[in-house]
Amino acid sequence: MPFPLSTEPIKQKAADLGFFLCSVATAEPMEEEARRLEDWLNRNYHGKMGYMANHFELRTDPTKLVPGARSVISLGCNYHNPDVPEDPESPRISQYAYGEDYHKVIRRKLKALLQWMKEEYGDIQGRVFVDSGPVLERDWARRSGMGWAGKHTLLINRDAGSYFFLAEIIIDLPLVPDPPIKDYCGTCTRCIDACPTDAISPSGYLLDGSKCISYLTIELRESIPAEFKDKLEGWAFGCDICQEVCPWNRFAQHHAEPAFHPHPDLLAMTHSDWQEMTEELFLNVFGHTPVKRAGWNKLMSTTLKSNRD
């Protein structure tokens, strides 16, 4: 078997499983990314997300996660759904949280792809990751040419925009890597200008996570600081503002994953429905979605209160 191997069969199988993007990078220590992560942590831009400082060596060296790792396969799974609540006064949640918990949906696909690879290539070792484990997903996707890190720090693909999940398979199989691509943000500053909390650096490419609305409404377990309560702009869970204004998302297509469809009642919920939402209704609408992570108490006592004030 000649090495490195062509990735075309893997990319085709990935597409069959529902991944609309797939690219490959060589597994190696990430020295530049390690320095950038260290600087970001030293600025305390991770806020209360203490886990971001854990397992630093694992985050920056895939061979620590999979001994003998030769390749990192990055995969993109579209979640774009431009539908918005019928009531313009209704609190909003990020598109990625509309449907079934993506961790479960994508992990099933990743395991199926890895199993296929084992059947195809023999006794190989690998691990799958989807927004879990100490993996720098965006940086591996950038290295593999899936896209570039935009000024809002999210990955952007020229043909698909940025509304997609990232996932990885780290494997000890040598594969032909894909070349990285250049940055196409140019002089655009729409994401910087649109961020209500000034979380993005004026020059872009650096995010103070502790100011991001997604952090404030999801990760922060305590009360939202007073200086941000009137800047949420109606977001109850997550935030899509920097993606909504990005010109590259004019190419984003509606996803084709049934599991990511929202609960039938979600977009029909009015502002009053949200205000009167019981814990039972919360579990009925959001029990299988990422929103469950925030919990009914946080939505009612913190985020929704800040939307009322």
pLDDT range class, residue 304, cuts 50, 70, 90? low
Residue 23 belongs to a domain: yes
pLDDT at position 286 over 70: yes
Residue 307 belongs to a domain: no
131 is catalytic: yes
* Residues 237 and 294 sit within 8 Å (Cβ to Cβ): yes
List CB contacts of 106: < 8 A, sequence separation 6 or more: 75, 77, 130, 165, 167
210-232, pLDDT tens digit by residue? 999 999 999 998 889 999 999 99
DSSP one-letter code for 31? H
Among 39, 14, 81, residue whose Cα is nearest residue 207 = 39
Choose the catalytic residue: 61, 87, 131, 172: 131
- Structure-derived torsion over alpha carbons of residues 285, 240, 96, 13, reported in degrees to the nearest 10: 160
- The C-alpha angle with vertex 17 and arms to 58 and 254, in degrees rounded to 5, equals 100
pLDDT at position 145 over 50: yes
231-259, pLDDT tens digit by residue? 999 999 999 999 999 999 999 999 999 99
pLDDT value of residue 303 = 53
Among 213, 190, 192, 212, residue whose Cα is nearest residue 203 = 192
- Structure-derived torsion over alpha carbons of residues 180, 184, 187, 192, reported in degrees to the nearest 10: -80
- Domain enclosing residue 196, as ranges: 1-302
What's the structural domain count of the chain?
A: 1
Write the single-letter amino acid at 129. F
Q: Name the pTM for this structure.
A: 0.94
pLDDT at position 1 over 60: no
Residues in the chain: 309
pLDDT range class, residue 302, cuts 50, 70, 90? low
